[in-house]
Amino acid sequence: MKRLHLFVLKTFFGPFLMTFFIVVFVLLMQFLWKYIDDMVGKGLEWNIVAELLLYASFALIPMAFPLAMLLASIMTFGNLGENYELVAIKASGISLFRIMRPLIVVAVALTFFAFYFSNNILPKTNLKFGALLVSVKNQKPEMVISEGVFSNEIDGYSIKVDRKSNKNNMLYGLLIYDHTDNKGNTNVTVADSGFMRISEDKKYMVMTLYNGQSATNMDPNKRGKDRTFPFRRETFGKEVVTISLEGFDFQRTDENRMRSQYKMMNLDQLTHQEDSFYTDFKARVRRFAVSMTYPKPLNDAVNFMTQPTDSLKKDYRATPDTLVNFDSIYHSLEPHVQNEVISMAISQARSNHQTINQNLHELYNRKTFINKLTMEKHKKFTWSVACLIFFFIGAPLGAIIRKGGLGMPVVVSILMFITYYMVSISGEKFAREDLWNMSTGMWFSTLLFLPLGIFLTYKSANDSGLLNLETYEHNIKRLFGFLFKRKEKTETH
């Protein structure tokens, strides 16, 4: 039995490691597609890009674990079924559960490791990734010159070229405005040709210009009617201009500024933040309810409900509708008094409408943030439990499909994971918008797929014909054969 378990483990770990790195790579390509515009043209060194991709890979691991477990378990038992090894093992009296026992231990261990990773390692890597991504986005782009367009990427300068040479990187028809004195277009340089290069320390832009002129407007020398505006013009055959590239060097963002974001917190920090924000949210809702303008019966009820607990001693069971009969009182009033009542009600309604508009958006944003904290807590558990669920789905599916390799298992795994992900996203959306209970929305996909995994495992362990694809193929062939025979008989008659 020990040799059998070692054989199953050896068969499993190879596909698992392979599929895990493939899944991380595919998800990383999606990350690059999303953030490619923030990295292109920034002049980033390779070690910065490699560090950013490393942290991004860590953020993708919680999603890669379940998919790799699903694909590896299907491939493992699919290979055993395709080579008739699974049939031989069952024929010797060994049940499917005994075959799955070592992999069940691996799935449980991976579930606990996934939770530990999500709770202890992932918040730290998310913090470093978020700070580094902000630094990359704030990095000024490397100097890029386009034909016929003014480039303002260097502070204090506007540069335009008419034509660029692809052979020797020469620029033709240069027009440079120097705004470093903050006096407008007072310093202009025109050159027939030239080229640019960045110094080795990337702190200066060195421009070598040929056959041009520079004109500078001077300060007025007199006042009144005799006031003139002199300027200086210089002609040059060659001129070298050095421009400081301040702000183009890479600067890292302080990580402490981003520690308050929910993705950078572990379970204890999320629970503490959730309790603090929810206490503040309830206090704001209470103040919002008190600030509303109510008719006197409702106002008495609101004041009563917002009093301290030790004063809640009197029995206050009457509802506003039973306190007074509005219709009878209203029709007994004089017409001018009725108009005053209507005017007062309209005024109160407008005041309440304004109060609601002022507070509703703020309260909604605060509740949404609280929901995000709660959702992040649940995600640390749901994606971890998904590893165990997908094993109990993938193992029986592999025994049923009886196909190894990367063909059918990949198709089935992707379809199953996409279905799980779509159900999970739908549940999260309903929970975030408070349409569903938070626990129900976050665990909705688990509640659907866990019974599926139990059902597939039970039927596969008992060799049920319900899940035997060959049975369906045989029945379909018999059905079509019967229909064709009946058609032939009808034609002969």
pLDDT one-digit tens code per residue, 123-140: 988 888 888 877 776 665
- 113 pLDDT band, cuts 50/70/90, is very high
pLDDT tens string 354-400: 778 777 888 888 888 888 889 999 999 998 999 999 998 888 888 77
pLDDT for position 111: 93
Mean pLDDT lowest among 95-104, 313-322, 412-421: 313-322
Mean pLDDT lowest among 66-70, 188-192, 395-399, 438-442: 395-399
The residues facing 232 across adjacent strands are: 216
Distant-in-sequence, close-in-space partners of 205: CB < 8 Å, separation ≥ 6? 143, 154, 196, 197, 198, 199, 242, 243, 245
Using the predicted structure, report yes or no on whether residue 244 has a pLDDT greater than 60: yes
CA angle (68, 70, 73) in 5-degree steps: 100
Domain range annotation of the chain: 2-139+377-483, 157-244, 259-374
- 246 pLDDT band, cuts 50/70/90, is low
pLDDT for position 311: 39
Mean pLDDT lowest among 122-126, 212-216, 311-315: 311-315
- DSSP, collapsed to helix, strand or coil, labels residue 295 as coil
CB 101 within 8 A of CB 5: yes
Mean pLDDT computed over 64-83 = 85
- 444 pLDDT band, cuts 50/70/90, is very high
C-alpha 220: how far from chain center:
58
Distant-in-sequence, close-in-space partners of 457: CB < 8 Å, separation ≥ 6? 96, 100, 392, 395, 396
- 314 pLDDT band, cuts 50/70/90, is very low
* Cβ neighbours of 363 (radius 10 Å): 14
pLDDT for position 75: 85
Mean pLDDT lowest among 42-46, 116-120, 332-336: 42-46
Mean pLDDT computed over 76-89 = 78
Q: How far apart are CA 493 and CA 484, in angstroms?
A: 15
Helices (H), 248-295: 267-291
Mean pLDDT computed over 338-364 = 80
Q: How far apart are CA 484 and CA 90, in angstroms?
A: 38
C-alpha 80: how far from chain center:
38
pLDDT above 70 as % of the chain: 77
Helix (H) or strand (E) holding 1: none
Given the structure tokens 């799980």, which residue do they identify? Answer: 420
Using the predicted structure, report yes or no on whether residue 306 has a pLDDT greater than 60: no
CA angle (149, 150, 151) in 5-degree steps: 110
pLDDT for position 250: 60
